[in-house]
Amino acid sequence: VLVLAASGGGGLVAYADSQSDQPQGPKKKKVVVLGTGWGGTTFLRNLDSKLYDVQVISPRNYFAFTPLLPSVTCGTVEPRSVVEPIRRILEKKGGDFKFWEAECFKIDPAKKKIHCRSNAGTNFDGNGEFLVDYDYLVVAVGARSNTFNTPGVEENCHFLKEVEDAQKIRRSVMDCFEKASLPYLNEEERKKNLHFVIVGGGPTGVEFAAELHDFVTEDLSKLYPSVQHLVKISLIEAADHILTMFDKRITNFAEDKFGRNGIDVKTGYKVVKVAKDAITMQNPAAGDVAVPYGMAVWSTGIGTRPFIVDFMKQIGQANRRVLATDEWLRVRECDDVYAVGDCATINQRRVMEDISEIFRVADKDKSGTLTVKEIQDILEDIYVRYPQVKLYMKSKQMNGIADLIRTGNGDTEKESVELSIEEFKKALSLVDSQVKNLPATAQVAAQQGQYLAKCFNKMEYAEENPEGPIRIRGEGRHRFLPFRYRHLGQFAPLGGEQTAAQLPGDWVSIGHSSQWLWYSVYATKQISWRTRALVISDWGRRFIFGRDSSG
């Protein structure tokens, strides 16, 4: 239902009003969700749809299972197997949901409106723009690929972020092989066409390199026997190692395996320019090196979307790189706007900012000093509110306080110790160095979406109980715990039916058995039985017939 409204610029703007066609009744609050990726979709699936009037806005009308995108680049898995239409997901839930296929290009927190533009058609006004009101806004728009302003990247490299990107890469790989096979090329030109360069040694770049290597050796070598010996895959990483977020054992295994497979891993090289047919990289020892290439995939990191940068300026976050929320996922300095996933980071509260308050609450007998018992009593609450304290207690640099608490039991000498506020401050002075940003992963985005939906389902309670510096058990019954991330482990598929797995507790497993774990986890994590069936049948088809190489 479109309603006319005067826009700030003086013209008329279409207005999406989802409520005017609803039967009368108490007005539900309007929740607007931006994005249908991991964060947004998980939020929607867990939201109690009876409680709100929900509008979902995203330029793409489906959810994409991103961990399988590298498999799409080589046809191991079909594109349609990794996507699920958002309307189907919403329809299954029932309740008040509206979906608009459009892009938000401006958030107006003062008026509680967002400006959207349809990417499909135009309205009567000719620009396809419309406004949407919100009571609560959930921003889950993910991030953009980051070129770090390296010249030529935008024009000459592929990215691997969306399903379309994976499809384009697949076509481009085949094009390179066909070009290299043409009769009029010399050896040099064939080599150039078959040089595949991947920039970025993170999980995505590594997995793509492994997929491509398998595709070439298992399938393409049979179809292009005359040129297959000319294929070269290079993986360029600016740091000293690839997969730096993984355990050293995995990094070493991956580098060795890639070495044996003939993948040229160039660590310590920074790409400074990408021209149409040569890529220039820099190394302190080697200087500038330009290498000809056939296809390049850029996978070095993520950045903030421009309209989020603009939003950050409006709310006084202009000096930050990433949108900041508190531990309840509320955007800082902005009422009723929440953010989950790759588009935001949690600005973890510092212990040292709250130290006097913590001391005051812990000092139950108001003696002005803390006994070991008093510290122990409050520790669990501190861990919840300030996860860095737990990390710190486990780390090697722990000093006085950790020793005190651990060995306090039964040790009469230590139990009689009492800390003044100055001593307490000193003991915790290094704790905040353990504050860590959560990684930009589907796992984090999904857990945040789920957490936020649970908060929304109990919103009334939350309003009665605003945040306090620490949660005291037995008090403020309905107060929410802050978001807490549970790391369930991480996979790095390395090709040749081998995967590295790093599970909680630094449990590392590498090889064929982890590959089977990977298959089963990824089959289980599928969003619907339909995509699960499709993915499993794709894997089966690949085992029997190999990958499809048309395109």
Site of interaction with Mg ion (CB under 5 A): 35, 37-40, 64, 66, 140, 363, 365, 367
The CB-of-454 to ligand FAD minimum distance in angstroms stands at 17
Parallel, antiparallel, or unpaired for β 195-199 and 295-298?
Answer: parallel
Q: State which residue, 229 or 373, has the beta carbon closest to Mg ion.
A: 373
Kindly state the DSSP code that residue 326 receives in the 8-state scheme.
-
The CB-of-104 to ligand FAD minimum distance in angstroms stands at 4
What does 160 interact with, of ligand FAD, Mg ion, none (CB < 5 to 8 A by kind)?
Answer: ligand FAD
Q: State which residue, 166 or 401, has the beta carbon closest to ligand FAD.
A: 166
The CB-of-303 to ligand FAD minimum distance in angstroms stands at 13
Q: State which residue, 212 or 370, has the beta carbon closest to Mg ion.
A: 370
Q: Does 58 bind ligand FAD (CB under 6 A)?
A: yes
Q: State which residue, 155 or 365, has the beta carbon closest to Mg ion.
A: 365
Q: Does 35 bind ligand FAD (CB under 6 A)?
A: yes
* CA–CA dist 102, 118 (Å, integer): 4
The CB-of-169 to ligand FAD minimum distance in angstroms stands at 10
* CA–CA dist 435, 478 (Å, integer): 27
* Residue (of 514, 500, 516) closest to 248 by Cα position: 500
Q: State which residue, 143 or 271, has the beta carbon closest to Mg ion.
A: 143
What does 129 interact with, of Mg ion, ligand FAD, none (CB < 5 to 8 A by kind)?
Answer: none
- Segment near ligand FAD (CB under 6 A); pick from 14-22, 64-72, 174-182, 269-277: 64-72
Give the dihedral of Cα atoms 310, 313, 315, 317; nearest 10 deg.
120
* CA–CA dist 539, 547 (Å, integer): 10
What does 526 interact with, of ligand FAD, Mg ion, none (CB < 5 to 8 A by kind)?
Answer: none
What does 244-262 look like in DSSP terms, one character per residue? TTS-HHHHHHHHHHHHHHT
3-class SS of residue 41: helix
- Segment near ligand FAD (CB under 6 A); pick from 37-45, 261-269, 310-318, 370-378: 37-45
The CB-of-477 to Mg ion minimum distance in angstroms stands at 26
Q: Do the Cβ atoms of 79 and 167 come closer than 8 Å? A: yes
* CA–CA dist 279, 291 (Å, integer): 5
- Interface pattern 326-345 for ligand FAD (x via CB under 6 A): ---------------xxx--
Angle at which helices 372-385 and 400-407 pack, to 10 degrees? Answer: 110
Hey, what are 286's tokens? 């080697």
The CB-of-420 to ligand FAD minimum distance in angstroms stands at 45
Q: State which residue, 57 or 254, has the beta carbon closest to Mg ion.
A: 57
Taking only Cα atoms into account, the Rg of the chain, rounded to an integer number of angstroms, comes to: 27
* Residue (of 469, 455, 231, 269) closest to 349 by Cα position: 469
Contacting residue, 57, 263, 453, 470, with ligand FAD by CB under 6 A: 57
Lookup result for tokens 């774990």: 517
Put residue 262 in one of left, alpha, beta given phi > 0 → left and psi -120 to 50 → alpha.
left
The CB-of-197 to ligand FAD minimum distance in angstroms stands at 17
Q: State which residue, 426 or 487, has the beta carbon closest to ligand FAD.
A: 487
What does 397 interact with, of ligand FAD, Mg ion, none (CB < 5 to 8 A by kind)?
Answer: none
The CB-of-439 to ligand FAD minimum distance in angstroms stands at 8
For residues 399-435, one letter each, b for 16 or more C-beta atoms within 10 angstroms of the residue's C-beta and e for the rest, the string is eebbebbeebeeeeeeeebbbebeebbebbebbbebb
The CB-of-66 to ligand FAD minimum distance in angstroms stands at 3
Q: Does 101 bind ligand FAD (CB under 6 A)?
A: no
Q: Does 204 bind ligand FAD (CB under 6 A)?
A: yes
Q: Does 67 bind ligand FAD (CB under 6 A)?
A: yes
* Residue (of 511, 516, 521, 525) closest to 543 by Cα position: 516
Residue 81: phi, psi to the nearest 5?
A: -75, -15
What does 343 interact with, of ligand FAD, Mg ion, none (CB < 5 to 8 A by kind)?
Answer: ligand FAD
Contacting residue, 30, 59, 136, 205, with ligand FAD by CB under 6 A: 59
- Interface pattern 111-140 for ligand FAD (x via CB under 6 A): -----------------------------x
The CB-of-42 to Mg ion minimum distance in angstroms stands at 8
* CA–CA dist 115, 132 (Å, integer): 7
Q: Do the Cβ atoms of 85 and 60 come closer than 8 Å? A: no
Q: Do the Cβ atoms of 270 and 148 come closer than 8 Å? A: no
- Interface pattern 424-463 for ligand FAD (x via CB under 6 A): ----------------xxxx-x------------------
- Residue ranges in 140-169 that form contacts with ligand FAD under rule CB under 6 A: 140-142, 160-161
Give me the count of residues in the chain.
551
Q: Which residue is nearest to ligand FAD (CB)?
A: 37
* CA–CA dist 273, 152 (Å, integer): 6
Q: Does 39 bind ligand FAD (CB under 6 A)?
A: yes
Which parts of 337-432 fold into alpha helices (H)?
Answer: 351-362, 372-385, 387-394, 400-407, 412-415, 421-427
3-class SS of residue 528: coil
- Residue ranges in 470-489 that form contacts with ligand FAD under rule CB under 6 A: none
What does 18 interact with, of Mg ion, ligand FAD, none (CB < 5 to 8 A by kind)?
Answer: none
* CA–CA dist 524, 510 (Å, integer): 20
- Provide CB contacts within 8 A for 354, sequence distance 6+: 469, 470
Binding site for ligand FAD (CB under 6 A): 34-40, 57-60, 66-67, 69-70, 103-104, 140-142, 160-161, 204, 305, 307, 341-343, 440-443, 445
